Amino acid sequence: MNTVQAPIPDTTPLTGINADEALWYKDAVIYQVNVKSFLDSNDDGIGDFKGLTLKLEYIRDLGVNTIWLMPFYPSPLKDDGYDIADYQNVHPQFGTLDDFRTMLREAHRLGLKVVTELIINHTSDQHPWFQAARNAPAGSPQRDFYVWSDTDQKYLDTRIIFTDTETSNWTWDPVAKAYYWHRFFSHQPDLNFDNPQVIKAVLKIMNFWLDMGVDGFRLDAIPYLVEREGTNNENLRETHAVIKKLRAAIDASYKNRFLLAEANQWPEDVREYFGDGDECNMAYHFPLMPRIYMAIAQEDRYPIIEIIQQTPDIPESCQWAIFLRNHDELTLEMVTSKERDYMYTTYASDLQARINLGIRRRLAPLMENNLDRIKLMNSLLLSMPGSPILYYGDEIGMGDNFFIGDRNGVRTPMQWSPDRNAGFSRADPQRLYLPPIMDAVYGYLSTNVEAQSRDPSSLLSWTKRLLAVRKTTQAFGRGTRRFLRPGNRKILAYLREFGEDTILCVANLSRSAQPVELNLAAYKGRVPVEMLGRTAFPPIGELPYLLTISAYGFYWFRLATDAAIPSWHEQIVSVDERPVLVLFDGWMSLFRERVVPWRIGIAEKTRAQFETDTLPRH
């Protein structure tokens, strides 16, 4: 098998979008876009590629460098496009292939990478492959494109993912007169990756989009590609063999492309999807996400440190993808039952907010619209090991509407302005694919891009500043991570180091101000420079370094060797204060002892007369 040996990471400061093109994804900040939700250019109530193209400069100016596009392929849209009916075209609602090409060229001109969604575990039951399979004889090449059985009693050790809608992973097809296998909804039959023709067909699809210029694929639901009796049909050895074939074929024909694994598994299982650097370039760290929320709620760093310590090392050329929210529910599959109950009680007391094993809410409502907590969460996202993913609208604190149904409450139109339909579309409101958020707190009249662009203290302006600061060093994307262990457990502190850059991150997980003493003796003599304000703090000495942090506050420090010590800081503090002279009676206070006795004898004179008499005469 042919593999590509990853180059040694470049340790020079980041000067462009990426200093090392082969590992560009390690420096990526990814912006997740739902095309239909972003901007409607033809006033039909649905976002499209022409609308997205018009907003590419907004995405670029936000400070991200990569776009992840949710499914835009022809589809019955029973699962928001994750039920694909044609892999090599664009859904008419979103435009045409030419519209996609135009968007892709403009994104590349602006320095933005584009990653598309590729769902290869299953198709729609409307896909021509499935229609041919159900009508073909049993055992024929067409039938074998999918997984069939005469009984629904096979693979009984396999869990059902959508327990609120599905009772079995098998569905009877009256045309084929057999059961077909599906790990997700019953209208999404699984492809048969034991069939070499399926792998060949998938590679043809990949080549189609890679030839067009896309920079990578997010591989949806890849732990379930292959089935074997007596297993739970997740993370099988045969599944990894399929991924290796796909990666080798891509590397043999294309440069600087990447694969992102969507595997909602424990870290030790996800580690296998990197292989020896010959499977996926990136993979999501699903278990970290809910534990960030737990740490904030419990005001204790333990949940974060505990899951990071469980995370195995990955190949040098690979990277984690980390996130706070996305288009799905805040999944609670990778937590214990006790932790799940705690998360439900804390963040989803309203039962309507729960779906499957998760919570269908956006970041801002989860944080009760507390701006300090939202900023703290984003500071952790942007400084933890991995490439961060921002969900569209979270940069302005968009809300949700979990009464809409399914997970559509977090997929509402982008709020551009206080105009009709949030500036998303000029269509009649009843024609919109979903209603925009209209409540008093998160509604588009109060929460929108236009208003926040004019406000230097808004969440949008702050997000741009934080992303700009993150770009100044590769330590966040490529650096090592080492936790500090201060006695105050409400404080999370860690070092990110890459080359000569050392970044100290300190976060207060508590709702009240907290002190902390950090053991930084190994960096004695360095000057911590706060990165957002470029303020130099006193140099590090041998004693523990004392900081006080406001409620939900955080610091990013560059431990500089070349920064000047603050001018006000000296080893021996000298008091050099001049006396203060208070003139309580105007300038006459200077002569008070001399003139007051005289005034006693002339009390019948008014103050004005006295002052007139005492003025010098010329």
The residue annotated as part of the active site, out of 20, 220, 394, 400, is 220
| Secondary element (H or E) of residue 117 | strand 113-119
Would you tell me the crossing angle of helices 288-298 and 337-347 to the nearest 10 degrees?
60
Quickly count: other Cβ atoms within 10 Å of residue 420's Cβ.
Answer: 14
**Residue 230: CB partners within 8 Å, gap ≥ 6?**
157
Q: Please name the residue that has the structure tokens 């006295």.
A: 610
Q: Tally DSSP H helices, then E strands, for the chain.
A: 18, 23
Specify whether 339 is catalytic. no
Q: Please name the residue that has the structure tokens 């010098």.
A: 616
How open is the CA angle 298-506-561, to the nearest 5 degrees? Answer: 170
- Separation of alpha carbons 445 and 507, rounded Å: 33
Specify whether the CB–CB gap between 348 and 359 falls below 8 A: yes
Q: What is the DSSP string of 446-460?
A: TS-HHHHHT-TTSHH
Specify whether the CB–CB gap between 153 and 217 falls below 8 A: no
Specify whether the CB–CB gap between 229 and 181 falls below 8 A: no
Q: Which residues pair with 480 in a beta bridge?
A: 497
* DSSP code of residue 53: H
- Separation of alpha carbons 351 and 430, rounded Å: 28
**Residue 159: CB partners within 8 Å, gap ≥ 6?**
232
Structure-derived torsion over alpha carbons of residues 247, 252, 256, 260, reported in degrees to the nearest 10: -10
- Separation of alpha carbons 183 and 307, rounded Å: 27
Specify whether 190 is catalytic. no
Q: What is the DSSP string of 337-398?
A: HHHHHHHHHHH--SGGGEETTEE---HHHHTTT-HHHHHHHHHHHHHSSSEEEEETTGGGT-
The sign of the CA dihedral 247, 245, 207, 180 is: negative
The residue annotated as part of the active site, out of 99, 117, 227, 262, is 262
Active centre residues (catalytic): 220, 262
